[in-house]
Amino acid sequence: MSLAARRARICGLMLAGCAALGSGAVIAAPTRADLERSLALRESWQYLTRDVSWPAHWTPDGTAFSYRKTVEGGFAFETVEAVSQKRSAAFDQQRLAASLTEALGHTVAPLRLPFAEFDYAGDRQTIQFWLDEEGWRCKLTDYTCQKQEDPRRPRGFGVVRDLSVPADNHPRLSPDGKWEALVQDDNLVVRAAGTSEVVRLSSDGSSGNFYDPETIAWSPDSRHLIAYRVRPGFARHVLRVEAAPKDKAQPDLQTQLYPKPGDAIDQEQPVLFDIAEKRQTVVDPALFPNAYELSGVRWRADGKSAEFDYVRRGFGQARIIAVDAASGAAHAAVTEDAKTFVYADRRFSHDVKGLGAEIVWASERDGWNHLYLIDGRTGKVKNRITTGQWVVRDVVKVDDEKRQVWFAASGMTAGEDPYFRHYYRIDFDGRNLIPLTPERADHTVSFSPDMQFYVDTYSRVDLPNVSVLHRTSDGAPIMEVAKGDISRLAAAGFHAPEVFTAKGRDGKTDIWGLVVRPRDYDPAKKYPVIENIYAGPHDSFVPKSFWPFGYHSGGDKVIGMQALADLGFIVVQIDGMGTANRSKAFQDVAWKNLQDSGFPDRILWHKALAAKDPAYDIGRVGIYGASAGGQSTLNALLFHGDFYKAGVAMAGCYDNRMDKISWNEQWLGWPVDKSYADASGVDNAARLQGKLFMIVGEQDSNVDPASTMQVADALIKADKDFDLLVVPGGEHSVGRSTGPIDYVTRRLSEFFIRSLQ
């Protein structure tokens, strides 16, 4: 038997394959022990750091802040008094763990509390935090914990009300305490506070065109109110069979309100009421036709007018609509038009002094996200506040009296990673730009409520977190709050990922990524490559801060990439064109073009790294991702199968017509057109090249799991081979623990070993 035949025979019998590398150099096939050791890396390494801190959260009175940091065995929450700099435990973690153990029904360790950040609720005696997308509140007086129930009627992705659930129709008290407003028989009524006799304000409400009590908004002078009359949209429900319920033998049928692209959505009509005269005025909808979103009404401070946000369906226009309280006349206080899309989730506006005369507004009209001062009466730009080839990432504070804006931005510092966030202060007229965070790193700043202090927490992938308390007036440092120590982690073998840049498809734009190599990396050998992809247009995803053990905006954790690399791969992550936090043109690549996923940039990046590193085997490149990353993984094998040889696609939205309405209409527009089909893994299934492994959670409530099965059906019809794993009861995360090794992660690792080694 020849050497090649013997090697093939051995590879076929082992967990892993083997690879002939260059002139006979071979990476030994990982054993089961190698696999278990690699996949246990997170647990063995996560608690080796000390004093790695999370962003600070201030007490409501602004006298102190609290934060989490790493300690022996886990995490501790600490409180620091801003003036005295005295430190103390934020709360009794043992008592809180005992309460959460009882509330959650499983053991919670005091140093492993299941949240990283919390806020104070009203005072220093109650904390609130998020756990598995649910709000929780715990009293520090008796350490009782309760899940926070939202009394409002649920909405499918914010656009279709669940009419099977009653609306929260408690009487809304007027600011002067004299009136209560509520809905009876689908119409708006008021009554004197504390009485039962009602005065009907409307008569045009019906079950098919009803007044929503949750939209009632009183003017500050109690003379007027506005409420939305609602024509319901199409209540599409996704049905899922739960094959193996935990509490019984027979399957269950689960249902979820789940609007999809193109569906009819709730139509909301603002209606103004004069309480004294019992006069109703339907606000003319000419300025907000075909609304995808109308925000809740905000009354101006003087009660003379109100405003609400409008996004046109298809996301080509956003406005603030102002309504005169006396006449009901509407005008556009500010309008944002786009040839592609207005990124709805990144909108920012601030009504200066709450009077509507001036509005601070974020806009990408010049190709970069910047701040403008708008004349709220005419909608015209009074002046630019920020300008340059960089982006405003977040507005922290607008000081109306000092006419200053505090904001975060990235890309302003030449020669630096353009994704690093820094913080600045600037005047309304665009003068006196003051940098607050000079360190060459990614920053998160927490300001005290009175803006006297701020805590700056900064890091890089190769720099553990540092937190410093500063005085806001001059930016001077007051105390070092925490400085991460990773000496034990480094001694255990941790190496920070390598940052690598290469030019994108235009030959001039830098594309940024990370490289994770095996701990026993040998430059004389050849390593197959695996790309961890998430290319959703809504953000950027390559980690910029230190903590390697947690998720970063949907991207996989660095420790997971290291675990995979230790099995004999080079693992990379890249932000290609079509993602956010760069220029408008950079993100616009994704518009009606989700199949692109930045692949032209990614492939050039791979080739540039291979030219630099001979160990980088450009002929054996795999890819994996979840959700939008799952869709991109499939598209890599459909549209770039000559480059990518194997892919693991998890919980993918493979056909955007099957996915949630909100995310997909934002990037592919409305009405549903050819761009949806162009990006479809179903319509393009026959193009598949390479080896595909799809994984889906049976009970995925984020992406309809039928999307995976429709791809499987199309692949079968096209006579294409593929692997499929359906996780019974699995959610969008698709993982299921089976002891020391996560089952899905093991299957993913073994797939790549077989396919690429």
pLDDT (0 to 100) of residue 133: 85
Q: What angle do CA 39, 43, 44 make, to 5 degrees?
A: 95
| Whole-number Å distance between alpha carbons of 251 and 653 | 25
CB 542 within 8 A of CB 449: no
Handedness of CA 403, 434, 367, 639 (dihedral sign): negative
| Whole-number Å distance between alpha carbons of 45 and 38 | 11
User: In sequence order, which residues have a C-beta less than 8 Å from that of residue 188 and are 6 or more positions away?
Assistant: 181, 182, 200, 201, 202, 205, 211, 216, 227, 271, 273
CB 443 within 8 A of CB 409: no
Buried b vs exposed e over 145-170: b needs ≥16 C-beta within 10 Å?
Answer: beeeeeeebebbbebbbeeeeebeee
User: In sequence order, which residues have a C-beta less than 8 Å from that of residue 24 and are 6 or more positions away?
Assistant: none
- pLDDT classification of 556: cutoffs 50, 70, 90: low
- Helices and strands, counts by H and E, the chain: 13, 48
| Whole-number Å distance between alpha carbons of 414 and 516 | 26
pLDDT (0 to 100) of residue 537: 98
Q: In the chain, what percentage of residues exceed pLDDT 90?
A: 91
Helix axes of 599-612 and 628-639: crossing angle, nearest 10 degrees: 70
pLDDT (0 to 100) of residue 592: 98
Q: Strand 330-337 vs strand 349-351: parallel, antiparallel, or unpaired?
A: unpaired
- Is 430 a residue whose pLDDT tops 60? yes
CB 87 within 8 A of CB 70: no
- Is 6 a residue whose pLDDT tops 80? no
Output the average pLDDT for the chain.
Answer: 94
Q: Strand 644-650 vs strand 691-697: parallel, antiparallel, or unpaired?
A: parallel
49-149 has which fold? Neuraminidase (2.120.10)
Question: Which residue intervals of the chain bear CATH 2.120.10.30?
Answer: 49-149
- pLDDT classification of 496: cutoffs 50, 70, 90: very high
How far is CA 170 from its chain centroid?
Answer: 33
- Is 3 a residue whose pLDDT tops 90? no
pLDDT (0 to 100) of residue 132: 84
- pLDDT classification of 114: cutoffs 50, 70, 90: very high
pLDDT, one tens digit per residue, over 394-414 is 999 999 999 999 999 999 999
Buried b vs exposed e over 318-340: b needs ≥16 C-beta within 10 Å?
Answer: bbbbbbebeebebbbbbbbebeb
Of the candidates 240, 256, 245, 188, the residue with the CA atom closest to the CA atom of residue 216: 188
Q: What angle do CA 737, 742, 745 make, to 5 degrees?
A: 145
CB 668 within 8 A of CB 656: yes
| Number of other CB atoms surrounding residue 368 within 10 Å | 21
pLDDT (0 to 100) of residue 734: 81
Q: Kindly state the average pLDDT of the residues 728-751.
A: 79
| Whole-number Å distance between alpha carbons of 471 and 430 | 23
CB 183 within 8 A of CB 136: no
Q: Which two tokens stand for residue 159?
A: 């656009």
Q: Kindly state the average pLDDT of the residues 653-675.
A: 98
Per-residue three-class SS string for 235-253: CCEEEEEECCCCCCCCCEE
> Exposed/middle/buried for 13, CB within 10 Å: 0-12, 13-18, 19+?
exposed
- Is 24 a residue whose pLDDT tops 60? no
pLDDT, one tens digit per residue, over 366-401 is 999 999 999 999 999 999 999 999 999 999 999 999
Give me the residues paired with residue 469 across strands: 455, 479
pLDDT (0 to 100) of residue 735: 55
State which H helix or E strand residue 381 sits in. strand 381-384
Secondary structure percentages of the chain, helix, strand, coil, to 5: 20, 35, 45
pLDDT (0 to 100) of residue 26: 58
Would you list the DSSP string of 160-224? EE-TTS------EE-TTSSEEEEEETTEEEEEETT---EEE--S--BTTBEE-GGG-EE-TTSSE
- Is 694 a residue whose pLDDT tops 70? yes
State which H helix or E strand residue 2 sits in. none
Most confident region among 1-15, 16-30, 612-626 by mean pLDDT: 612-626
pLDDT, one tens digit per residue, over 120-142 is 998 899 999 999 889 999 999 99
Q: Kindly state the average pLDDT of the residues 680-694.
A: 98
pLDDT (0 to 100) of residue 1: 39
Q: Kindly state the average pLDDT of the residues 408-434.
A: 97
CATH number listed for the domain at residues 151-331:
2.140.10.30
> SS3 of 112, please?
helix
| Whole-number Å distance between alpha carbons of 247 and 357 | 60
pLDDT (0 to 100) of residue 10: 30
Asked whether the bond before 261 is cis by omega within 30 degrees of 0, the reply is no
pLDDT (0 to 100) of residue 647: 98
Q: Kindly state the average pLDDT of the residues 257-273.
A: 98
Q: Kindly state the average pLDDT of the residues 723-734.
A: 93
- pLDDT classification of 33: cutoffs 50, 70, 90: confident
User: In sequence order, which residues have a C-beta less than 8 Å from that of residue 581 and are 6 or more positions away?
Assistant: 391, 393, 410, 418, 419, 539, 540
How far is CA 107 from its chain centroid?
Answer: 28
- pLDDT classification of 568: cutoffs 50, 70, 90: very high
- pLDDT classification of 415: cutoffs 50, 70, 90: very high
Handedness of CA 87, 91, 97, 100 (dihedral sign): negative
CB 470 within 8 A of CB 455: yes
State which H helix or E strand residue 79 sits in. strand 74-81
CB 574 within 8 A of CB 512: yes
Question: Which residue intervals of the chain bear CATH 2.140.10.30?
Answer: 151-331
Of the candidates 257, 162, 154, the residue with the CA atom closest to the CA atom of residue 704: 257
- Is 11 a residue whose pLDDT tops 60? no
| Whole-number Å distance between alpha carbons of 743 and 363 | 45
Q: Kindly state the average pLDDT of the residues 189-212.
A: 97
Instruction: Name the class of domain 30-46+490-756.
Output: alpha beta
Question: Which residue intervals of the chain bear CATH 3.40.50.1820?
Answer: 30-46+490-756
Question: Which range among 321-335, 711-725, 738-752 shows the weakest confidence by mean pLDDT?
Answer: 738-752
- pLDDT classification of 25: cutoffs 50, 70, 90: low
Of the candidates 420, 407, 182, 217, the residue with the CA atom closest to the CA atom of residue 306: 217
Q: Kindly state the average pLDDT of the residues 549-570.
A: 79
